[in-house]
Amino acid sequence: MFWRMISKSFIREFRRKLLAFAAVAFSASLVTAMLSVSLDIGDKISRELKTYGANLLMEPQMDTLPVKIGGIDYNPLAERQYIEEEELPKIKMIFWRHNIVGFAPYLEGVAGIGDTREKVALIGTWFEKELELPTGEKIITGVKQIKPWWEIHGNWVKDDDNSGDALVGIQLANSMALKPGDKIEVQVETLEGLKRRKLRVAGIVNAGGQDDQNIFVPLSYLQEIMNLKGKVSKVEVSALTTPENELARKAAKDPDSLTPEEFERWYCTAYVSAIAYQLEEAIPGTKVKAIRQVSQSEGKILKKIQLLMLVVSLAALISSALGISSLMTTNVLQRSKEIGLLKGLGAQVLAVVALFLTEAVIVGLVGGLAGYLVGLGFAQMVGYTVFGSSVPIKILVFPLVLLVAVVTALAGSLAAVRLIIRLNPAEVLHGR
């Protein structure tokens, strides 16, 4: 009899129940989309921010502070320390090696250019280097991977080209009226004195910032000129990281202050400080620090977006609960004589309440299932529109959405339940 009454209720009041289904499905679809995107948004934001540059800088440990003015290193060449180029493949051998998007080494030199012999930074680097790892795997890395926003007017320089091709920063090119194909003479400072070289402008680079005033050549070419074979001044590393929390900040100050359990949890999480620590372990004699402008932005942006998603989801749930409350209250008022008759025939109040709450649960389950399916579509739309990629389906989201949908339907039924409890059979049946 109980289930027969419920089925009759859905058949008689199909339109009203359809509105309840729609209200629950609406909120469930938004919750599904928000949860699906939120669970995947960390990696997507991290990858998106990697297009704005490296977030880790590896330098040799030095006893003296570097003296740089306008991007030019004024430390005496004889006092400079370097990183061994042959050690760089170890960057892709750390615990979080799969999170290393790319890296680019730099050898920093100084050259006089033009009639005034104005000093500019001459940088040797990898542009798009094929590198073989100790495992035999081959990867492509260099500035093209970690600085994809560079705009090149002309052609890129090849890493194995030691003929003197160079990329010239757009500000320097404009000041000297240079264009692709032009040749310039530079005097490079080396331990043996000044060395003259003629460079051909292969392309003009619009990079933004200090790089627009520099000249870039293949790393091997500058190493040969400066007689620093196999040496690099620094390495920029782009890595996918997890936003830092109190544990990460504590470890960044002093990893030795962590308990063994804290250290294991920190080391096995892709915090920027943990990856920096592992890079220092892989290449002894180096100091790796986070480029905070990028790494801190990840956490701030992620928190703001997740807060926005939470607010939107709560607003949808509240509006859905209010809609259901209105529909259920109207339903109780229209069925007041039926409820009064049930009470008059001896039905327990809890049994009558259970009848309406069961209807609410069914509405929640069916509406939640429909909302989940629609929400998956919304999540894919957000993924492709904002990040240009799909959002993976998380199995955990389905039971959570059903639970939220049922709770929302039950919460919206509280006003109706209170009305059922207060309803007096005698007054209802006598038409009062």
Least confident of 59-63, 117-121, 250-254: 59-63
CB 91 within 8 A of CB 279: yes
Helix %, strand %, coil % for the chain, to 5? 55, 20, 25
Given a cut of 90, is residue 33 above it in pLDDT?
no
What pLDDT is recorded for position 48?
Answer: 57
Instruction: List Cα–Cα distances, 77 to 5, 126, 225, 368, 391, in angstroms.
Output: 91, 22, 13, 68, 51
* Confidence tier at 92 by pLDDT (50, 70, 90): very high
Whether pLDDT at 104 is above 80: yes
The answer to whether the beta carbons of residues 270 and 101 sit under 8 Å apart is no
Bigger pLDDT: 47 vs 244: 244
Least confident of 70-79, 139-148, 320-329, 409-418: 70-79
Q: Give the mean model confidence (pLDDT) for residues 87-94.
A: 93
Question: What's the rounded Cα separation, in Å, for the pair 168 and 180?
Answer: 9
φ/ψ region of 227 (left if φ > 0, alpha if ψ in -120 to 50, else beta) reads: left
3-state secondary structure of 124: strand
Cβ contact 371:27 at 8 Å: yes
Beta carbons within 10 angstroms of residue 264's beta carbon: 11
Question: What are the sequence ranges of the domains in the chain?
Answer: 1-48+297-430, 54-292
Asked whether the predicted pLDDT for residue 324 surpasses 90, the reply is: no
Is the dihedral angle over the CA atoms 413, 419, 422, 427 positive or is it negative?
negative
Beta-carbon contacts of residue 152 (< 8 Å; ≥ 6 apart)? 167, 203, 204, 205, 206
**pLDDT-derived band at 309, boundaries 50, 70, 90:** confident
- pLDDT tens per residue, range 215-231: 999 999 999 999 999 99
pLDDT tier at 67, thresholds 50, 70, 90:
low
Of the candidate ranges 71-75, 167-171, 407-411, the one whose mean pLDDT is the lowest: 71-75
- pLDDT for 137-159, tens place per residue? 999 999 998 888 889 999 999 98
The CA distance from 196 to 186, in Å, is 6
Round to whole Å and give the CA distance between 36 and 40. Answer: 7
- Round to whole Å and give the CA distance between 141 and 271: 22
What is the C-alpha separation between 59 and 37, in angstroms, rounded?
Answer: 37
pLDDT for position 215 = 94
